[in-house]
Structure 1
Amino acid sequence: MTIAAVAELAPGARTPISVAGGFAVASTLPLVWRREYLRPVAAVALSAFAASLLTGQEVLVTSVLAALYTLYALTRQMPRQSAGALAVGSLVTVAVVYLATDTLGDVPWPAAVVAVLAAIGLGDARRTVEHAGRTEAAAEERNNETLTRLNAVQREQAVMRERARIARELHDVVAHSVSMIAVQAETAPYTMDNLSPEAREGYTEIARTAREALVEMRRLLGVLRADAGAEAESAPQPRLDRLPELVDQHQGAGGRADLVVQGRPRALSTTVELSAYRIVQEALTNARRHAPGADVHIELTYLPDRLAVRVRDEGAEGRTLVLNRPDAPGRTAVLEPGNGPSGGGHGLLGMKERATMLGGRFSAGPAESGGFVVEAELPLTREEPARDPAARDSGTSR
């Protein structure tokens, strides 16, 4: 703009060193620093332009555009009350110029008034739009933060419910073991001869402690059921020998599944078998919900120190599915907590909790060959025969 102003002075054989050139440069060049020092720049530029008009200098188009742009930029950064004061001051300056000089004699005064008000009005409108945008962005950010916190709370609640559900299942397992301890300790004095009084007292203390532990476990279970709002379950806890039944149920519901067992099957702890069963059960439920009709492959691998579980569905690509619409493409999806048409567990969250409880590893995601795969490795407890080399060689347990 400064170069354009100097070019406008050239036909009149005037240079930037002249008075007119000084006013032209002063009203345009300071705009270079408008972003950093808007108010001082606006004061210099507008004062130079007003002084050029009052001293009768030739009106330059570039200087007029620079003044109008300065009014626009200044109003854009001002509150509305200050913008009104600026408009009044600008109109007074225009009136003084028309009354005191003939500099703007070729420009009708209504046109000058409209130009000034238009520049100030555009700046105020731009400020309003930007303020509304910032307000909307801030509101959206607050909503996102609220949703994030809500999701975190819901996930935490889902984790607590799933842990309570697992604890209720494990209660029967632990209670059975503690009951066996109590019964054996109580019957030992009657089945073993020549026990010393100290030994009898020790067995009695073991039985008493086991009974007290059972009472405390029942109280804990009552608290868990009250917190989770769950009904008592009367069915026995399933083990791996019931996996064929689970596969048959899946096939009866319209799915297709096959079970492959690798390694030498052996009796594991009830906790490990229960966790493996529930992981397979949740994986099959996930497949029915998100890939109905897809082939599901279940692999159970007995390793020396752990039990590996792998469930992979092949997805529903290429199949005609009836979901939300007749032409909906089949896909395998991650079952998030609370999703799905029916209640029960919490899908992948529950599987992960079960594997983590045993100190194992869990992973789930899209398979390389298509579909969805769930993998879990459940370490065996120290009491497992697999941890004793002699027991592994002979196939017996201690």
Structure 2
Amino acid sequence: MTSSVAPPVTADEMTLDAGVWSPRIRFLDLACLVLSLLAAATETYLLLQDGGAVGDVVGLALILIGIGTVRSRLRIGPRPLSTRLWLATALVALGPLSVTALGGDPLVSWTIVVFTAFSITLRGLPGALVGGILGAAAYLAVIASDGLGAVDPTAFVALTCCFTAAATGSALRSYVRYRTEFAERTRQTLASRDAETHQRVAEERLRIARDLHDIVGHEIAVLNIHLSVAQVNLPADAIAAKTSLESARTSVQSVLGETQRILHVLRTSQGEEGLGTPAAEFDRIPALIGGFQQAGATIDANLCAVRAQLDPEVSTAAYRVVEEALTNSQKHGTGPVKVTTLTRGPVLEITITNAKRPGAPLPGRRGYGLVGMRERVASAGGRLVLRDEDDRFAVEATLRIDGSAHA
């Protein structure tokens, strides 16, 4: 399994990405652009109607170029975003100064500068520095235009508005950064929690594997030894008993094999390679039935061959259903057991029927065999029907060959 690590994102790039902005912030940024363009369009119309100083045209042009630079994807220098924004700040600051220097009225130009200051700081430049530069430019332009000296109230209004707009943009940028970092930390916390959960699950699986090996494996091995001793010490003419003991030893060996496979699954992490062959599969059902027949069970088997590729989970579920049903038939039933498998289009049907032994309890009331059978069939996308009648018990499993959920 491979993982990819995204390249680090700078603070400037993060604040420029409109995807992390809330709708309200995007609306404010767009509103500043619209108001700036409306003011520029109005000033252009008045210049065309009444005429005006060259400074009005030059200043308006510089400001519009600055606005375009703020919102463009122009790459300048090793740090394209900050360089582009500083260039835009310089162009916008020159706007009102050019208007005044060339004999124009800087009112419209410094008004547009206020809206542009908000957009510039929103994209990453420090609010105090941008506010100081643009505010000083607007202040000097108004003073020089009105000729009222340092106490010009309009100049103070221009300076205050530029600082306020720049501070607002900077505050909103900090808010966006905080929300982005908070979301990233939350994601990392959840990822760390998931990793810890998987680690605990792995440790629990390993503990279960150890317990299963120490308890179940040991007891089965001891049972196999006792069966071997009993078989050796039987009289020579006890052929039936020897056959039964041999079948019992075969079953014990099979249980040992299944236990080893379960241990391997518990000790193997998800996604790692498993055993070369599955623990149980549909093609092994005839061998399973043969094992029961060697132990003395009477089984009437009518098995079909599945031509299509059988889903591995469906194959395992089919084997386990037959295995559990035959086991229950020997515990709680009497007489022959009928096992039928057939295919109807994309569906595999399995039916196991046996007569009930008088007074025998329902298998599901004594253990979890039927519950596990039902869960296994459901996990393979199939259906399981149990028919408990007066004198017979039937298990009917319906599975789709491709493993898809059964309708």
TM-score range, shorter chain: 0.3 to 0.5
The TM-score normalised by the length of structure 2 is: 0.45
**Which structure features the higher share of helix residues?**
2
